[in-house]
Structure 1
Amino acid sequence: MSGDSLAGLGYLALLLLALGGAYLASHRQSVGKSLQMALVWGMIFMGCMAIYGLWGDISRDYGRKSLPITRQDGAIALPRAPDGHYYVTAEVNGTEIDFLVDTGASDIVLSRTDAARIGFDLDELAFLGSARTANGVVPIAYSRLKTIRLGPYLDQGISVSINGGEMDKSLLGMSYLGRFGRIEIAQDQLILQR
């Protein structure tokens, strides 16, 4: 916590103490009831602060399943998530996988968990490659997907990288996104069209 945050927190505590003192002074005859109400409001305030502080974790863990919206013109529209990223659920080898759409990733990159879910035996994979990521260099295994379906589009035999390191979410990178003739961001939507 920075010095500014501590100063702001101290200011709020003093303000609440002053307001609480003024309220108690004006309602001296029912101090017990006033303390009870102050405790209730304090609990409500603390609950709101907890929700505000944890909102990033809550929104990351829930509501990330983003099914593609197929428009009448055949384009796929993905809504922007509250964190500013685009997520999509695609069917890979018959299993739904949640992806972060990442134009900075060269390939489709599967997390170890997602790779196992779609049938890869992690003990049989040869992690011979490496990739430089924001988290450092990680081992990579290369393979191919039987199928990947995104909205109305079905592709077969697409190359894929399996990340040997820790990864929260699989990435839908440019080796797949490049199959779309148009990639556009408009009105808080990522639009993909072939």
Structure 2
Amino acid sequence: MSTDDGMQLVYYALLLVFIGGALLIEVSGRGSRALRQAALWGVIFAGAIFAANWWVEGDGPRQQVAEGGRIEIPMGRDGHFRLTARLNGADVRFLVDTGASSIALGPEDARRIGIDPDDLAYIGSAMTANGEVQTAPVTIEEFAIGDIVDRNVRAWVIGGDLDGSLLGMSYLRSFARVGFEGDLLVLER
């Protein structure tokens, strides 16, 4: 089980305890009316957060790595393709972005793979949907998707608030074929 899976399990357990506790307060009739209403609104709010998370990330099908270097990535509910790769031993979830010229790591993902964003030289810049951001060149020692392993992969750490990481064309060009089959993005070596 990955760290992300463990955190998601903790999240669901806490959500279950919270909803269960709120329901017990409501059903038992204990507590003041204000406490019961606050618990009810808490359940509604937690449910809305859960639904939004489920809608964006979903528990739908994940990528499949087949023999011979074929990767099948299903389209998410939001119309985007997300791929999980193992960088320097840590799982990183990427948004596949054919509009990005290279791999762009958010500061949190950089930390998770052993790169301290605070110690980098931000010598470049990039235009994002949120405007211009500073970038720092880095080398990812090991970039693995299933049995496909690349070493010394060039990437950039974004010096702004990039929520997540982008898998751009510099890496996608390492595949012999990048294509679509229905709602699947297919990468083949």
TM-score by length of 1: 0.68
Does 1:185 pair with 2:175?
A: no
Partner of 1:114: 109
1:1-194 alignment to 2 at 5 Å?
Answer: 55-60=51-56, 63=59, 67-194=62-189
| CA distance, structure 2, for counterparts of residue 70 and residue 149 of structure 1 | 11
Offset of 1:57 from its aligned partner? Answer: 4.3
| CA distance, structure 1, for counterparts of residue 113 and residue 73 of structure 2 | 23
Offset of 1:59 from its aligned partner? Answer: 2.3
User: Contact 1:87/1:101 (CA < 8 Å) preserved in 2?
Assistant: yes
Instruction: Point out the structure with the larger strand share.
Output: 2
Number of residue pairs the alignment of both structures matches: 148
Segments of 5+ residues of structure 1 without an aligned counterpart are 1-42
| CA distance, structure 2, for counterparts of residue 127 and residue 59 of structure 1 | 35
Segments of 5+ residues of structure 2 without an aligned counterpart are 1-39
TM-score by length of 2: 0.70
| CA distance, structure 1, for counterparts of residue 140 and residue 107 of structure 2 | 14
- Per-residue CA deviation, residues 100-152 of structure 1 (Å, 9 max, x unaligned), is 01111111100000001111122210111110111100010101110100122
| CA distance, structure 2, for counterparts of residue 120 and residue 72 of structure 1 | 31
User: Contact 2:138/2:155 (CA < 8 Å) preserved in 1?
Assistant: yes
